[in-house]
Amino acid sequence: MIKILLIEDLESEIKPITKLLTTDFESVVTRVDSLLDAVKVMESAWIRPDLIICDDHGSSFTPLSRMLELSQGVPCILIVDDPTKFSEFRKIKQAFLTEPVARKHLTRDLLSRIENLEEEGMFVHLAKDGSLDPRSKKIITVQEQKVQKLIETPKPNIQTVHNTTTNSIKLIQEVTSKIGFTPQVQAIATKSVELTLKVIADSPKLSEILKTLKTQEGKFIASHSMMLAEIASALASQMEWSSGATFTKLCLAAFLHDLTLTNNELARCRTLEEAKALPGITQYELNQFKLHPTHAAELARKFHEIPADVDTIIAQHHELPGGTGFPRGLFQSQISPLTCVFIVAEDLLHFYLDRDFRADALQFVKERENIYVSGNLRRALKVLENESTAMNKATSFS
């Protein structure tokens, strides 16, 4: 059952839209007249909708920005006359806007936007007996088939692989949070690793990978996990740890490492200090954040035939040299070699994400030189430095 918050004030449109939403989808629609009312609903947390549909004829920019800030990753479909007017709202970090729906194609496009979100795993729901409802079951089966088809495709399009893998991780996250790490979800994870390995190939080039990466709005956890899998594998490969087994471990760890977090904003934080500084963060959320490496590692151990080390990488992915990381405050010598690769890879990814991918890996190396001073963390940084220097030389000659 999808909980929809509908912002619609025109009497003539309320009925047809509500009918559309309740006939084709099992949904409960809460309707408000204006964006100001929607802001009140979101501020008071009366309901936490699964989806917001906003047909605000007044195009009042300030309440729309406020509503999107409050939406915290809940997908929002705007119904508009002029889609170009709304692009600036995409910059709001918390906003997860789909392509807007042009009012003249309302019936056709509204339904297809919702179906796309469903396929992306945004609305996984339970039946009364506690199992997944038939619609969610179908979505998972279809997703598994999509991944399988791409595995069988000789040269799949990289962007399609990225999008499909991101959807897989999002689905795994949704289902796991509702009914646990089921065998079917494990099968999707295994297949998605297989698919990622297919595009990573034998020797993944970090420079090539960084060029193809792109975040997907509203799906930070899923989308950074997919990117991390590729970056960590590329880094490992340059460190001459290029066996298929190593890539499998790093990919699986990347897919599962933040799985127990549900808040995309929290998942962006690298340290406990950053998490504490988030506005409105509760003590409970902070504890969940502090323990997410432990919780996710426990989840990984339930995985059927999990390769050794994956749970260690996950449990240690926020540790830092000098015992300054969490949850255990380990020292460098206690951090496993593959975790070192993973830590540097995720740090590098965040460096790029914070700069909208207009970053320079050499700058990253310079800024981290005093942090990653020894052992495998240092080695990973050195490898990155060599590759970036070679890359810069190649561009200046071409």
Strand blocks (E) in the chain = 2-8, 27-32, 51-55, 75-80, 96-97, 101-102
Left if phi > 0, otherwise alpha if psi is -120 to 50, otherwise beta: which for 360? beta
Nearer to Fe ion, 258 or 347 (CB): 258
What is the SS3 assignment for 358?
Answer: coil
Considering only CA atoms, which of 248, 159, 160 is closest in space to residue 211?
Answer: 159
Nearer to Fe ion, 120 or 258 (CB): 258
What is the SS3 assignment for 230?
Answer: helix
**Least spacing, CB of residue 117 vs Fe ion, in Å:** 23
What is the SS3 assignment for 132?
Answer: strand
Nearer to Fe ion, 101 or 266 (CB): 266
User: For residues 78 and 97, is the Cβ–Cβ distance under 8 A?
Assistant: yes
**Least spacing, CB of residue 265 vs Fe ion, in Å:** 12
Which tokens is 375 given?
């052992």
Nearer to Fe ion, 316 or 388 (CB): 316
**Least spacing, CB of residue 289 vs Fe ion, in Å:** 8
**Least spacing, CB of residue 260 vs Fe ion, in Å:** 9
Nearer to Fe ion, 258 or 309 (CB): 258
Distances (CA, A) of 266 to 43, 222, 261: 19, 13, 8
Helix axes 134-152, 106-119, angle to 10 degrees: 70
What is the SS3 assignment for 103?
Answer: helix
**Least spacing, CB of residue 391 vs Fe ion, in Å:** 25
Considering only CA atoms, which of 277, 223, 264 is closest in space to residue 92?
Answer: 264
**Least spacing, CB of residue 318 vs Fe ion, in Å:** 6
Nearer to Fe ion, 204 or 325 (CB): 325
Distances (CA, A) of 19 to 2, 105, 197, 305, 321: 14, 16, 45, 47, 58
Q: Is 151 exposed, middle or buried (0-12, 13-18, 19+ CB in 10 A)?
A: middle
Nearer to Fe ion, 113 or 318 (CB): 318
CB atoms within 10 A of CB 375: 14
How many residues lie near Fe ion (CB under 5 A)? Answer: 1
Site for Fe ion in 230-269 (CB under 5 A): 258
Q: Fill in the amino acid letter for 333.
A: S
Q: Can you give the length of the chain in residues? A: 398
Site for Fe ion in 185-214 (CB under 5 A): none
Distance in angstroms (rounded) separating the CA atoms of residues 176 and 46: 25
**Least spacing, CB of residue 371 vs Fe ion, in Å:** 18
Site for Fe ion in 274-333 (CB under 5 A): none
Nearer to Fe ion, 27 or 166 (CB): 166
Reported as half-sphere exposure (CB side, CA atoms, 13 A), residue 230 has a value of 28
Nearer to Fe ion, 55 or 258 (CB): 258
For Fe ion, which residue has the nearest CB? 258
Q: Residue 63 is inside which H or E element, if any?
A: helix 61-71
**Least spacing, CB of residue 302 vs Fe ion, in Å:** 19
Nearer to Fe ion, 31 or 290 (CB): 290
Q: Which residues of this chain interact with Fe ion, rule CB under 5 A?
A: 258
